[in-house]
Amino acid sequence: MKASRLASLVGVLAMGVVAAACGSSASSSSGSSGSSSSAGAAPAQITIGTTYSGSGSFAVSSLAELGGLKFWISHENGKGGVYVGAYKKRIPVKLVAYNDQSDPATAGVLTNQLITQNHVNILTADFGSVLTAPAVSIAQAHHMVLFDQSGTGIPFFTPSNPYIVLCNLPVSSIWPTVLSNFLIAKHINNVAILYGTNDFDASQATTLQSKLTKAGIKVAYYQGIPTSTTSYGTLLNTIHATNPGAVLELGYQPNDVAFLQAVQSSGLHFPMVFTVFPGQLLSLFQQDVGTQGLAYTYTYATNYFHNYTSVNEGMTTSQFLTQIAKAAPQANNTVGLLGYNTGLVIQAVLKQAKSLSQTDIRAAATAVSGHLNTLDGNFVINSEGAQIGELLPLGQLVPSSGSAAMKVVYPSSQAQAQAVYPMP
């Protein structure tokens, strides 16, 4: 490692955010794997460790997700801490968070520090698959359960790795199921698929190509590009030449913003345009792309737009929206909800676990699966820790009172409006 890089990393470590109630750090045994055993003496605090992106391409989403997790911690500490069933009492929560600056290598180094030096009880990952990837292998090597907030890449979930729990969204290969069914039902042909070559986007692209081809829908354009891509002019002209019935761009927030801006400035018109992230960060896209650029485009309608009133852990949707808007407005979006819901999963697991050993924590996650209902829906994981309890409806952004309003258009059982196809 170069000296400048090492100095930068030391600075990152020094900037670690410690937020909670109680100042002493966890003991070296608190995060050990171990086998199921008696709970022993209650710790003074429950430490949760995470990395986040304070700068770089993932900062907007990462900070919102961190804000949601902090909101949960603040709410529980306001009641004396999170309830830990093994000790039959509430214990204050301490957050140790290090800034990885949107860099996967730094995220890996800092994740290792959280386990080996901070000895956290609970480990969570940064936003998205790119920054979760290094944490998966490191947590597995240390036999530490990783509470995966939003890293949905398929390679993370294997029979050989029992140390991962996907808290919120379904694995990314499931995401485009409803989108595929919509395209098939509408007999939309000559589909163009442009995707980032990362685990999150590539697995969606693979699912779409497979389902559409199997249904006899022609995929006229199928191209992977670097996740760092922000220039789409030439790509759009190539896509337009295929006369597509739908253009599906699968990227992260910076990609989707740049893509939608490019579509608008190019003057090219497509019957259907789909992007991933407007449904997660709608207010940001409203600001950066505008109502005209978003008008009648499609995206995933996340659970942020669904009003859950029957929950057995945490707040209802309306309670969350009211309180988060005041306490942490930057987290008043889908990604902030995911951070908060990660806390609810941890909360349910700690209530169930027989001890703080990683074996008991993972066993508790399995026990909770299928029985936990939150503002993010029903928490269900398979034997590999992958979330399978959700399907993402298809939404269309419809101009309303000077802004873009989310309307679920498919499947029909959840639809709030009819899809406008082709786009005006």
- Quick: pLDDT tens for 159-182: 999 999 999 999 999 999 999 999
Sign of CA dihedral 216, 276, 339, 403: negative
Is 194 in contact with 247 (CB distance < 8 Å)?
Answer: yes
- Quote the tokens at residue 262: 């490019």
What percentage of the chain exceeds 70 in pLDDT?
Answer: 91
Average pLDDT over residues 207-228: 98
Neighbours of 59 (CB within 10 A): 18
User: Which residues have C-beta within 8 Å of that of residue 100, sequence separation ≥ 6?
Assistant: 12, 51, 52, 53, 106, 107, 110, 126, 131
Lowest-confidence region among 9-18, 120-129, 386-395: 9-18
265 or 28: which leads in pLDDT: 265
DSSP state of 393: P
Q: For 414, what's the count of Cα atoms within 13 Å in the CB-facing half-sphere?
A: 21
Phi-psi region of 13 (alpha: psi -120 to 50; beta: other; left: phi over 0): alpha
Strands, DSSP E only, in 116-238?
122-124, 146-148, 164-166, 191-196, 219-225
Q: Which of 128, 124, 101, 116 is nearest to 9 (CA)?
A: 101
**pLDDT tens readout for residues 239-275:** 999 999 999 999 999 999 999 999 999 999 999 999 9
Is 205 in contact with 172 (CB distance < 8 Å)?
Answer: no
CA dihedral 15, 47, 33, 83 (to 10 degrees): -160
CATH class of 177-301+393-410: alpha beta
Predicted pLDDT at 11 = 36
160 or 16: which leads in pLDDT: 160
Q: 3-169+308-379 has which CATH code? A: 3.40.50.2300
pLDDT over threshold 90, residue 8 = no
Alpha carbons 182 and 197: distance in angstroms, whole number: 24
Report DSSP letters for 249-276, one per residue. EE--HHHHHHHHHHHHHH----S-EEES
What percentage of the chain exceeds 90 in pLDDT?
Answer: 89
**Residue that has been written with the tokens 């290969």 in this structure:** 173
Average pLDDT over residues 201-211: 97
Alpha carbons 193 and 244: distance in angstroms, whole number: 10
pLDDT over threshold 90, residue 322 = yes
35 or 51: which leads in pLDDT: 51
Predicted pLDDT at 64 = 97
User: Which residues have C-beta within 8 Å of that of residue 267, sequence separation ≥ 6?
Assistant: none
* H-helix segments, 161-232: 177-185, 199-214
Considering the chain, tell me which residue range(s) the CATH 3.40.50.2300 domain(s) occupy: 3-169+308-379, 177-301+393-410
**pLDDT tens readout for residues 54-99:** 999 999 999 999 999 999 999 999 999 999 999 999 999 999 999 9
pLDDT bin (cut points 50, 70, 90) of residue 17 is very low
Which residues, listed in sequence order, are joined to residue 70 by a DSSP beta bridge?
none
Alpha carbons 12 and 14: distance in angstroms, whole number: 5
Sheet (strand 17-20) strand order: 17-20, 93-99, 46-52, 122-124, 146-148, 164-166
pLDDT bin (cut points 50, 70, 90) of residue 40 is confident
Provide the mean pLDDT of the chain: 91
Q: Which of 390, 354, 391, 338 is nearest to 369 (CA)?
A: 390
Is 333 in contact with 278 (CB distance < 8 Å)?
Answer: no
**pLDDT tens readout for residues 328-370:** 999 999 999 999 999 999 999 999 999 999 999 999 999 999 9
| Parallel, antiparallel or unpaired: strands 17-20 and 191-196 | unpaired
